[in-house]
Each structure stands twice: as structure tokens, then as C-alpha cells.
A and B are shown apart, each in its own frame.
Chain A
Amino acid sequence: MNYLRRASPLHATRAGVGAAYCAAMVLAALVIPNPLVLGVLALALLAAGAGARAGGRVARSLYLSVPMAVLIVLVNALVSREGLTVIARLGDAGPLGQLDITLEAVAYGAREALVLIVIIAACALASAAVDPDELLRSLRRVSFRSALTATIATRMVPLLALDARRIGEAQRCRPNPGGRLAVMRAITANALDRSLDVAATLEVRGYGSARRPARAHRPWSRHDLAFAGSALAIAVLALALRTPFSFYPSIHGSFGVRTWVLAAALAFAALAPFTQRRGIMR
């Protein structure tokens, strides 16, 4: 729950379309095996973050994703027995047999790591630029209770974080401050109390008998159309133009014209909606 309304085309678009735009990026990362295209996609995401005035948020997601990516590369290099180009021999590891590090296993791990980086960056962008309340509101017609529950649950997260900080500070003022477990216990008890209060309030206000709300008509803005077109273009390009790329037993793939065209087209599709700057403050 770190959404802040900013003056950017992505913030100006409706939440459903913004979420679809980020989901299209994730889809592209999952279906495209070529590391060059994935790299371009990652750069496009960083640029999109800057275009949405959330560049810092997207870049900070690297603090989470890069260590995980390094771990993926390391584990795959050690665990995978595939690949023909041995770059290091770690000798006989008893029951595990001969442990060899191959270039292909490292490259495949790096590709998987790149996918993870793109996915986490896309989620960070969505978290920073897609209004979660609006997104959940749009789900009310699909399932009212689920949307309400999700809204309340997501609202609770920053509240609990605030509780933790407040209780932690109060605890540090005591002569014998307790451990983190004591803070956790207090927060859990608070969360249960709050959930009971919320449930009682909802019942009193008659939320249980609520009906499916009427469709709220909202005309599509130029930003809605631009980002919807961008999401569709990213998905179609990724699915239709992806080129085969295999890592095992040896690396085979194209870095030719078609790959560069796909990379350029994806970057263009991802960034083009940000050129439209009119009407970005609602």
C-alpha cells in the first residue's frame, strides 16, 4: 500500500488498464526466452517507472530482486547437471558425484534471474502507479464480498506496520525492553481486536446484505486507450514474435535482426503511452 497519486500518464489511466499494462510485462518476461529481449524489457520497465514518476520505487525493487537473482544463478549452477561447456570443476562431492559448473547452467540461471527481476520490477511499478482502491472497486461487480475483504485486508497492512513501529518505540523507552516476539504478540492481539471491530461495524452497517452494485460508466480517456493498446501490443508481440532460444545442452539462439526488432518493438510499445502528457492530473 504505497500508492501515491502523481502526475503521470500511468497514474492518470484507469486502474484496470494500468494493472493490465504491468501484467503484460510479466507475461512477456515469462514467455520470451531470449536474454537480450529480457534485458531490453527490464530497461524499458525502469524507463516506464521514471515515466510514471516512480523510478525510485522501481529501482529500489532491485534491492529485493538482485540478491534473489544472484542466488538463483548460484543454485542453478550448482544443481543443474546440464550443459556441455565446463568452466569449473568442483571435484567429486561424495553421493552427489562429480560437480561441474557449466556455462549453460550459469546462463540459464541468469535468464531465470532476469525474469525474476522483470516480474518484481513490474509488480513494483503496479504497486506505485496503480490505485489499489480503484482496482478493488472495479472488482466489486465480480465479487462484492471478496473485493471488500481484500480492500480491508490491504488497508490493515500499513496500519499494522504503524502499530509495530509505535509499540517498538514505546518498548525501547522501558528499562527492560522485551524482544521482537513481545512486539509480534502485541500486534497480533491488536490485529485480532481490530478485525472483530471491523466485522461488527460491517454487520451493523448491513454490508452482509449488500447487492451487486450498478455498473459505473466512465468514459475511456486517451491514457486508458494508450495503455490498453500498449498492453495488448506487448502481449501480442511477446507471443507472436518470440524467437526460440535454448540453453541446454549448449546455448543456441538468435541475436539477429528479428530479435532486435522484437526488443525495439517491445520497448516502443511499453514507453509510447508515456509520451502523451496531456490531462495527467485528474
Chain B
Amino acid sequence: MATLALAGCGLGAGSTPTHVSLLVSQGFGAQTVVSAGAPKIVGADTVMRMLERNAKVGTLDSGGFVQSINGLAGGGGNDWFYYVNGVQAPKGAAETKLHDGDHVWWDRHDWSATLSIPAVVGSFPEPFVDGFAGRRYPLRIECTQTGSKSCAAVEQVFAGYNLVASLGCVLCSQYNLSLRVLVGPYSTLTADPAADQLTRGPGASGVYARFTRNGATLELLDQSGRVVRSAGAGAGLVAATRFMGQPPVWLVTGTDAAGVAAAVQAFNADTLDGHFALAAIAGAAIPLPDQEP
């Protein structure tokens, strides 16, 4: 009986997770459909069940696949995807249990450039505060120059959430089960295989921006993966990706030191909120994917 109870079995609805929030949007977070800081949850709901309690949901496959939310139907290269604490869930919403502090984000978007966007920044300070899939992870900030202002500023941001991070240089740790934040000019981060994905576009990284091989130019892409604009010196990027199933790796980077500083400026919950990734160019924060001017 005790084993069954520990495995989450039992009669009735079960215990309700706390501090859960729900965001439903479309167009990579461009338009909010539902936003609930305290959505209705009854017992040990799954992600799907919580969505059904808080929006009008059409499903397929015996309730395993979301077809429409509040009348916005998927199809034609535009479908519903969901992220829990900024991490694309590996299982269907009907199989994913909610945990305390989960920020669930459903977004209907064009997947012509990539089907998989493994991590997004718009749920910040998640996944650093509550982790993901019901598990918290240690935080490690890896900076090109550990004593730099940018590195210290990023550490300060986390300190604001009472998060203690271990500081180190890029690829100095063999432990790959931490949430890592890489800080520094992109050209100095490419030795990291997760960061290196950013030269290969959204198909590899899930980020609608890419650096040129030498890291001197940042190309912003639209939802189809086409280059909308390019920026040279002073361009910054805040993005998240994953490599080989490891925990998400966040990048606070830029084409140069000024670009990194611009990215650090954008590295806060207010600016990142509801965006998949963010470019910082000439003092402006540009949500990614970029729009045609």
C-alpha cells in the first residue's frame, strides 16, 4: 500500500500542486490567448487536464493531442506545442503531471523551420527556481571571464531569486547535469557543443537566430527560418537550447563585449517574459523569431 501511495496511486483527485501558472499564446508568444497566474486545478492534474479546466480545448487521439484551444485550431504547419518551465516536454500533455511551481506555456506556432524548440527563455526565472519534470537542478554560470562585469551581473540576477550559482569557466566542469548559463562573446563559447548549435540555425538549436562561424555577426530569422536582418558589433542574444538530452543551456552572449553587455541588460524576467528568445540590438529588445520589417 505504501509503495502504491508513493508511486502516486490512490483513489480521488490527489493533492493539488501549488504556485502553478498557465500561459496560452500564439505566434511564438506574440499574442496572448489565456494568461492565468492561478489557474483552476483540481488534485493531481496533468498538464492537459489543467488546460481543459481553463480553456476550451479540442483534442484528438483519445484526448492525447491538442487540436484546438479556444477555437484556435492547429494544422497547416501551425500547431500547438507546450513547455513546462521553459522546457519542451518529452511526453504528451495528458501524460505529464503538474508539479509545484510549474509554469505551463502553450503556444501555437509555425513549425516549418523546426519541429523541436527544446528550451525557451520566456518562463524566466524558471527552470532555475523550480527545475523541470519535478526535479530541481544545480545552477552553474560559466563565463569566458569569470571576473567580468557581465558575469557578476548575471550572478546578481540569480541572487535576486535566492539562487546560489557555482561560477566557472566554459567547459571547466565535467558534471553535465546542471542548468548552465554561458556568459561571454559568442566566439569564445563555440567550444561548448550546446553553444556551437547556434551557428546551425533553428533546426539544430531551436533558436531563431544564428551566429556566423566567427561570431562577428548575428542573423535574426523569421518563423520560416529566413534571415530578416543581420547585426554586427554590439548585438546581444539571450536564448536557451539543449544538447543531447542534457538540462537546458542558456546563453547570454553577443557578437562582442558590448553585445554581451546588451544581452545582460535584457536578462531579467520582465524583458524575457513570454518570448522564445530575445536579441538585443541598438538598445532594443527584439523577440525571436523576428518579424519582417
Chain A interface residues (CB < 8 Å from chain B): 79-92, 95-98, 100, 248-249
- Main DSSP-derived SS at the A contact region: mixed
Give the residues in chain B near A95, CB-CB below 8 Å. Answer: 91
* Residues from 33 to 64 in B contacting A, C-beta threshold 8 Å: 42-46, 48-49, 52-53, 57, 59, 62-64
Check if B9 sits within 8 Å of A82, measured CB to CB: no
Smallest beta-carbon distance B277→chain A, Å: 28
6 more CB-based (< 8 A) A-B contacts, given A82-B59, A87-B12, A98-B94: A81-B94, A84-B42, A88-B11, A89-B11, A89-B12, A92-B97
With A81-B63, A86-B44 as contacts: A98 and B13 at CB distance below 8 Å: no
Give the residues in chain B near A81, CB-CB below 8 Å. Answer: 46, 48, 59, 62-64, 92, 94-95
Residues of B within 8 A of A (CB-CB), count? 29
With A84-B42, A87-B11, A92-B8 as contacts: A248 and B63 at CB distance below 8 Å: yes
- Chain B CB within 10 Å, residue with most, of A79, A86, A92, A248: A86
B14 part of interface (Cβ distance < 8 Å): yes
Give the residues in chain B near A100, CB-CB below 8 Å. Answer: 44, 46, 49
A-B contact count (CB 8 A): 77
Chain B interface residues (CB < 8 Å from chain A): 4, 7-14, 42-46, 48-49, 52-53, 57, 59, 62-64, 91-92, 94-97
- By Cβ-Cβ distance, the 10 closest A-B pairs, closest first, are A97-B95, A82-B63, A81-B94, A81-B63, A91-B7, A91-B8, A249-B52, A91-B9, A86-B13, A98-B97
**Cross-chain pairs A/B with CB under 8 angstroms, 5 sampled:** A86-B42, A87-B11, A87-B12, A88-B11, A91-B8
* Measured CA separation A79–B61 after assembly (Å): 10
* Measured CA separation A203–B54 after assembly (Å): 71
Smallest beta-carbon distance B118→chain A, Å: 19
Check if A98 sits within 8 Å of B12, measured CB to CB: no
Smallest beta-carbon distance B214→chain A, Å: 43
Check if A89 sits within 8 Å of B14, measured CB to CB: yes
Smallest beta-carbon distance B234→chain A, Å: 46
* Measured CA separation A137–B7 after assembly (Å): 63
* Measured CA separation A82–B51 after assembly (Å): 11
Check if A84 sits within 8 Å of B59, measured CB to CB: no
Check if B95 sits within 8 Å of A98, measured CB to CB: yes
Give the residues in chain A near B46, CB-CB below 8 Å. Answer: 81, 97-98, 100
Check if A92 sits within 8 Å of B10, measured CB to CB: no
* Measured CA separation A253–B45 after assembly (Å): 24
Check if B63 sits within 8 Å of A98, measured CB to CB: no
- Chain B CB within 10 Å, residue with most, of A82, A88, A92: A82
* Measured CA separation A81–B53 after assembly (Å): 14
Smallest beta-carbon distance B136→chain A, Å: 19
* Measured CA separation A171–B261 after assembly (Å): 93
Residue of A nearest to B40 (CB): A84
With A81-B62, A84-B42, A248-B63 as contacts: A98 and B96 at CB distance below 8 Å: yes
Give the residues in chain B near A89, CB-CB below 8 Å. Answer: 8-12, 14, 44
Residue of B nearest to A97 (CB): B95
Give the residues in chain A near B48, CB-CB below 8 Å. Answer: 81
* Measured CA separation A80–B53 after assembly (Å): 17
Smallest beta-carbon distance B200→chain A, Å: 30
Check if A86 sits within 8 Å of B8, measured CB to CB: no
Check if B52 sits within 8 Å of A96, measured CB to CB: no
Residue of B nearest to A100 (CB): B46
Smallest beta-carbon distance A59→chain B, Å: 33
Give the residues in chain A near B92, CB-CB below 8 Å. Answer: 81, 97
Residue of A nearest to B44 (CB): A89
Give the residues in chain B near A83, CB-CB below 8 Å. Answer: 63
Residue of B nearest to A92 (CB): B8
Give the residues in chain A near B63, CB-CB below 8 Å. Answer: 80-83, 248
With A82-B63, A86-B43, A86-B44 as contacts: A98 and B53 at CB distance below 8 Å: no
Give the residues in chain B near A90, CB-CB below 8 Å. Answer: 9
Give the residues in chain B near A85, CB-CB below 8 Å. Answer: 13
Give the residues in chain A near B9, CB-CB below 8 Å. Answer: 88-91
Check if A84 sits within 8 Å of B49, measured CB to CB: yes
* Measured CA separation A98–B46 after assembly (Å): 8
* Measured CA separation A202–B64 after assembly (Å): 56
Give the residues in chain A near B12, CB-CB below 8 Å. Answer: 86-89
